[in-house]
Structure 1
Amino acid sequence: MKLALMMSTLCIASLGMVGCSSTITKPEDYSGFLKDYSQLKEAKSPSGVDVMRWVDPKLDITKYSSIYIEPTQFYPQPKPTEKIPQSTLSGITGYYDQALKRELAKSLPLADAPGPGVVVVRAAITGVSSSTEGLKPYEIIPIALVAAAVSTATGIRDQETDLATEAVFLDGGSNKVIAEVVRKGTGKSLENDSQVMTANDVKNVMDGWAHDLNQSYVKLKVQ
Structure 2
Amino acid sequence: MQLKALAVPLCVLSLALSGCASKYVDPAQYSGFLKDYSNLKEEKSPSGADVMRWIDPKVDVRKFTSVYVEPSQLYPKPQPTEKIPQSTLNGITTYYDQTLKNAFVKALPLATGPGPGVLVVRPAITAASAKTKGLAPYEVIPIALVAAGVSAATGIRDQDTSLATEAAFLDGSNNKLVAQVVRKGAGADLENSDQVLQAKDFKAVLDVWAQDMVKSYQQLKK
TM-score (norm. length: structure 2): 0.84
Partner of 1:91: 91
Q: 1:39 to 1:183 in 2, by over 3 A?
A: same
- 1:131 offset after TM fit, Å? 7.5
- Maintained 8 Å contact 1:128/1:140: yes
Aligned partner of 1:4 in structure 2 is: none
Distance 1:105 1:44 in 2: 23
1:183 deviates by 0.2
Q: Is the 8 A contact 2:125 2:163 kept in 1?
A: yes
Find the counterpart in structure 2 of residue 200 from structure 1. Answer: 200
Does the 8 A contact of 2:52 with 2:182 survive in 1? Answer: yes
**Secondary structure, in 3 states, of the residue corresponding to 1:127?**
strand
Aligned partner of residue 78 in structure 2, secondary structure: coil
The answer to which of 20-29 and 179-188 deviates more is 20-29
Aligned mates of 2:19, 2:164 — CA distance in 1: 14
1:27-79 Cα deviation digits (max 9, x unpaired): 10100000000000110000111100000010011111000000000000111
RMSD: 3.1
Number of residue pairs the alignment of both structures matches: 210
The one-letter amino acid of 2:32's match is G
Q: Percent identity?
A: 62
| Cα contact 1:21–1:186 (8 A) shared by 2 | no
Structure 1 residues not aligned, in runs of 5+? 1-8
Structure 1: 4+ residue segments shifted above 2 A: 15-23, 127-132, 134-140, 142-147, 149-153
Q: For 1:195, give the aligned amino acid.
A: Q
Separation of aligned partners in 2, 1:20 and 1:50: 14
* 1:1-223 alignment, distance < 5 Å: 16=16, 19-20=19-20, 22-127=22-127, 137-141=137-141, 155-222=155-222
Deviation at 1:157, TM superposition (A): 1.9
1:158 Cα shift? 1.1
SS at match of 2:71: coil
Q: TM-score, normalised by structure 1?
A: 0.83
Structure 2: which 5+ runs fail to align? 1-9
SS of corresponding position for 2:140? coil
Q: CA deviation at 1:18?
A: 8.4
After superposition, the C-alpha distances for 1:166-221 in whole angstroms (9 at most, x for unaligned) are 00000001000000000000111100010011001111110010010010011000
Aligned mates of 2:130, 2:161 — CA distance in 1: 11
